[in-house]
Structure 1
Amino acid sequence: MVEQDGNAATPSALALFASCLSYRRFGDEDLRVLEAALSTGADVPALLATRSAAQSLLQASAAEAFACTAMGSVLDSGSSLVADFFARAFALVGDVESCLAMRYEALLLRDAKCCNDLHLQVSHQEWFTFAKDSLDNGFYAIASKAFANALAHIHPSHPGHLVSANPIEEKDKINDITGLQNLAKSLSAQHSVQTQSAEYMKRRASGVHEKCNLQSGKPKLTEISMFRLGIKTRNIKKLLRSQERNLGDLKQS
């Protein structure tokens, strides 16, 4: 029985959810157990602690479940359903990155296993929706791949392609997807360059601090040296802020 006291209820509810996962239960009822655990707590810090604990639990359980799938266990036949379960669970705890990763896994598994079943195969609209969500959340490389899958599914050569009653509308749809895919590619490249640049500048900043530490046993820096060090540090921070603004402008354009 779950304790009624706010502080004790959360661990008990989370332990119940952990038990569900240990028995490989991946259903709607188990998600409701998780939801109950996340809504039980005496205060905000307790809720945040529960959310963090649930996130760690889900990450470990998902890794274990898909390790079993890779080995060809009984989970393999329902692996797309398992991925969908974890996607919804990660959404509940607010882990956007893991949620998108699980959604991507579920779509790929359905694509591989249900390509000949019109009722179960992934539609171009599902890929498009996932791609847009990935783009909006800053996962540009995955978004680009998902847009490519959406285009592949809308192509006449795809097994699940349905002949459109309005060829012009279908052409416009293809152009829209292509445009967003190009945007995702551009943002991915820009993000990669800026990430490398930011890491380089951080290393430089770290080098400045290390140099300063090495000299700590020596006489204090002269005023002019301290001034130059301050200028370098400020310029590094200004560059990083400028790069972040440029990336933000690209996302809004």
Structure 2
Amino acid sequence: MSVEVSRQIFLFRSLIENRRFDDGTLRVLECILASNGAKSLIGIVSALNDFMRRESLSVLREISSLRSVDDKLLIVEFHVRVFALIGDVESCLALRYEALLMREQKANSDQTLRVSCIEWLTFAQHSFQNGFYSIARKACEKALLCFDMKSNIIDTQTGDLFNNVQLIEKIEELKYYAAITASSQSVQAQAAQYLKKKAVDHSSDHPFPVIKDNDSGSAKFRKGIKRRHLRQLHHARSRLPSSACPSEMC
């Protein structure tokens, strides 16, 4: 590792420890990752990732006392960007989930913070694509609540009634595949089946836009990941009944 890279890593760590969550800190990280002197880049990224995971947990505890939801969201968004640069998909999704839950909890008093069904669906799609099927199913359930007529919550972003019906069908479909994939022995096969179908439908369908209790959202997310790993360890013992997958959808 070059002296310059070592200096930049020290600077980045100092900025994080001093809670400088801004674009300047992100630029330092970008310089580290792009540096020609970073010969052991894999080791550097791993060390930075471990450091950021520890710091992000401390930060989440610290910001719980902040009164401003906007400030909380800005800090969480900063950490999402950091983990995206490092390539830690798990932490990136966990913090995105944390941010969505923060907004949902405050939406009753501030409608500008309301999470739309499109945002929940986008998050569900990303979770599914990265193998977090239980979390994808929960996000689909959140998306469907946006159409709960009894609570007068209708997502105006989706347009007219016809478009809403189509969107509900898409959410229900993803929820179905996420549920059977999470409980299925053939996890990879089910996921591949769904993604293949989406690729076929893509030519005639518009993609969705990507819009950048006591347990925290990230804690729930990681519990879901642990359950997923446990299912995979015991997958040889489980069998998906043929009746659980209707012929018209398989």
Q: Could you tell me how far apart the structure 1 residues matched to 2:158 and 2:43 are?
A: 51
Structure 1, unpaired ranges of 5+: 1-5, 202-238, 244-252
Correspondence 1:88 to 2:88: no
Q: Could you tell me how far apart the structure 1 residues matched to 2:22 and 2:84 are?
A: 15
Q: Which residue of structure 2 lines up, in the alignment, with residue 230 of structure 1? A: none
Q: Flag the 1:134–1:11 CA change in 2: closer, same or farther, 3 A.
A: same
Q: Which residue of structure 1 lines up, in the alignment, with residue 221 of structure 2? A: none
Q: CA RMSD in A?
A: 2.9
Q: 1:155 offset after TM fit, Å? A: 3.1
Q: 1:86 offset after TM fit, Å? A: 1.0
Correspondence 1:28 to 2:28: no
Q: Which residue of structure 2 lines up, in the alignment, with residue 61 of structure 1? A: 55
Correspondence 1:182 to 2:165: no
Check the 8 A contact 1:81/1:106 in 2, yes or no: no
Check the 8 A contact 2:132/2:228 in 1, yes or no: no
Identity of aligned residues (%): 32
Correspondence 1:12 to 2:14: no
**CA deviation profile, 1:199-222 (whole Å, cap 9, x unmatched):** 459xxxxxxxxxxxxxxxxxxxxx
Check the 8 A contact 1:38/1:47 in 2, yes or no: yes
Deviates more, 1:115-124 or 1:132-141: 115-124
- The residue type equivalent to 1:161 in the other structure is D
Check the 8 A contact 1:148/1:181 in 2, yes or no: yes
Check the 8 A contact 2:182/2:228 in 1, yes or no: no
Correspondence 1:148 to 2:148: no
Q: Could you tell me how far apart the structure 1 residues matched to 2:62 and 2:173 are?
A: 39
Higher helix share: 1
Q: Flag the 1:114–1:33 CA change in 2: closer, same or farther, 3 A.
A: farther
Q: Could you tell me how far apart the structure 2 residues matched to 1:185 and 1:15 are?
A: 44
Q: Flag the 1:151–1:200 CA change in 2: closer, same or farther, 3 A.
A: closer
- The residue type equivalent to 2:127 in the other structure is S
Structure 2, unpaired ranges of 5+: 188-225, 240-249
- The residue type equivalent to 1:103 in the other structure is R
Check the 8 A contact 2:117/2:142 in 1, yes or no: yes
- The residue type equivalent to 1:92 in the other structure is L
How many equivalent residue pairs? 198
- The residue type equivalent to 1:65 in the other structure is V
Q: Could you tell me how far apart the structure 2 residues matched to 1:200 and 1:87 are?
A: 32
Q: Could you tell me how far apart the structure 1 residues matched to 2:8 and 2:143 are?
A: 40
- The residue type equivalent to 1:25 in the other structure is R
Structure (1 or 2) with the larger CA radius of gyration = 1
Check the 8 A contact 1:83/1:106 in 2, yes or no: yes
Deviates more, 1:30-39 or 1:123-132: 30-39
Q: Could you tell me how far apart the structure 2 residues matched to 1:110 and 1:183 are?
A: 27
Check the 8 A contact 1:10/1:38 in 2, yes or no: no
3-state SS of the aligned residue for 1:154? Answer: coil
3-state SS of the aligned residue for 1:119? Answer: helix
